[in-house]
Amino acid sequence: MKKTDKKSLSFLSLCSLGMLLVLVGLYALSPLANQKIYRGSFNRNFAPENTVTQQKILDLGVNSYYISGLTKDKIYLSNYTTIHHLLRTDMTLKDTQHIRLKIIGLDSVVHPRKFRTRVEPPYFYMMHGIAPAILRGKVNKWEARRFMADSAYYTDAVPIDTTSFALRYYSKSQESYELALETAKEPYFKPNYDILEKQMDGFFSVDGMLHYNKELQQIVYLYRYRNQYMVMDKNLKLLHQYNTLDTISIARIKSEEIKSENSFTLTSQPTVTQRISSVSGIYLYINSGLLSQNEKEEQFKQNTVIDVYDLTQGKYIHSFYLPHYKNKGISDFKIIGNRLLAIHDQYLSVYTIATDNIIF
């Protein structure tokens, strides 16, 4: 080895050491080093243990399934990536059938993967907010076609009945997401600007989840980054405005505009108050992203917490944990009667809820 090589080697190690220090410094100063789950100033009231018990598990093979329909005895699963595919199974998870959905009269769609399927027997719906299209077909025939003048662009849609839908869309005039009703008969499209209230930008601060509750015939919209949900009737008239457990009433988000792309993006990691949710019966089930005062962080990280609210009174009832399965939290869940279905990555689980433990 030459003398200059030795010199180079020591110089290179010096450079590496310096750069390592830079990286360690960046890491130490970054939020990664002290990741903390936001702890709200509220308490959770946990239901007795064994309120919810895991009964059966089905390996789906891939993690891109979501629950697209649920009836007393049937479970329908759709796939985010293969939109023509529908999986049907029963509560025992033994009998699984693969169904191929046909789209008729719609040749090409720009982003086919934006199709979202909903199965509400006797119909199923395939909804695409950018095409835009709402297709409908009979369950058992599995052929979806256009059936109404659906010309409104939207970001989320849920069927109310067979000819009307609740939409969330981006309103140019309001510069914000708004809710609207789309119907097969007049008035076809009816927005209601009085429900969503923007704070800062019109995207993230009003982002949330849209549900339709069949039993109560009410539309529910739940904000993702703050502690509020709204209950509306079938005509999108606001009935109630309720708060969830936590106290974040102003969305804790930072968003910035990318001017050259004319788009908005979140810049810091936001505090997600409501991650996923579901409605069933008179209840609203929310998977919250916030720790309560009476919870251990370790426990919170190993479970998915579900808070249960009574939609008729806007009251918090209790919470329960769904333990992670194979170290995976849940990405989707739905409830019917005393059964809870959840997707942990590539596994579908059926839980039973002990009804005598529910305080009415």
* Beta carbons within 8 Å of 183's beta carbon, 6+ residues apart: 148, 163, 164, 165, 189, 190
Is 28 among the residues that bind another protein (CB under 8 A)?
no
Closest distance to another protein from the beta carbon of 26 (Å): 5
Closest distance to another protein from the beta carbon of 103 (Å): 30
Within residues 244-263, the interface with another protein by CB under 8 A covers 256-261
Cβ-based nearer residue to another protein, 68 or 304: 304
Is 29 among the residues that bind another protein (CB under 8 A)?
yes
What tokens were used for 125? 């719906």
Is 27 among the residues that bind another protein (CB under 8 A)?
yes
Cβ-based nearer residue to another protein, 145 or 328: 328
Contact region with another protein (CB under 8 A), list: 24-32, 109-117, 123-131, 173-181: 24-32
Task: Look up residue 143 and give its DSSP letter.
Answer: E
> Strand 176-183's sheet: what is its strand order?
156-161, 164-171, 176-183, 189-192
Closest distance to another protein from the beta carbon of 273 (Å): 17
Burial of 21 (0-12, 13-18, 19+ CB in 10 A): exposed
Is 25 among the residues that bind another protein (CB under 8 A)?
no
Q: Which of 31, 110, 296, 356 binds another protein (CB under 8 A)?
A: 31
Is 200 among the residues that bind another protein (CB under 8 A)?
no
Is 110 among the residues that bind another protein (CB under 8 A)?
no
Binding footprint of another protein, residue count (CB under 8 A): 31
Strands 133-138 and 143-146, how do they pair? antiparallel
Q: Looking at 148-302, which runs of residues are DSSP E strands?
A: 156-161, 164-171, 176-183, 189-192, 208-213, 218-223, 228-232, 238-243, 255-258, 263-266, 274-280, 283-288
> What is residue 144's three-state secondary structure?
strand
Cβ-based nearer residue to another protein, 31 or 187: 31
Q: Which of 81, 92, 241, 269 binds another protein (CB under 8 A)?
A: 269
Closest distance to another protein from the beta carbon of 7 (Å): 8
- Amino acid found at 282: I
Is 296 among the residues that bind another protein (CB under 8 A)?
no
Closest distance to another protein from the beta carbon of 5 (Å): 6
What tokens were used for 352? 């039973």
Is 18 among the residues that bind another protein (CB under 8 A)?
yes
Closest distance to another protein from the beta carbon of 136 (Å): 36
Within residues 327-356, the interface with another protein by CB under 8 A covers none
Cβ-based nearer residue to another protein, 168 or 224: 224
Q: How far, rounded to the nearest angstrom, does the alpha carbon of residue 153 sit from its chain's CA centroid?
A: 20
In degrees rounded to 5, what are phi and psi of residue 44?
-100, 140
Residue 151 CA: distances (Å) to CA of 131, 169, 203? 9, 12, 21
Q: How far apart are CA 92 and CA 89, in angstroms?
A: 8
Is 16 among the residues that bind another protein (CB under 8 A)?
yes
Place of tokens 């008239």: 237
Contacts with another protein, residue ranges (CB under 8 A):
2, 4-5, 8, 11-12, 15-16, 18-20, 22-23, 26-27, 29-32, 35, 256-261, 265-269
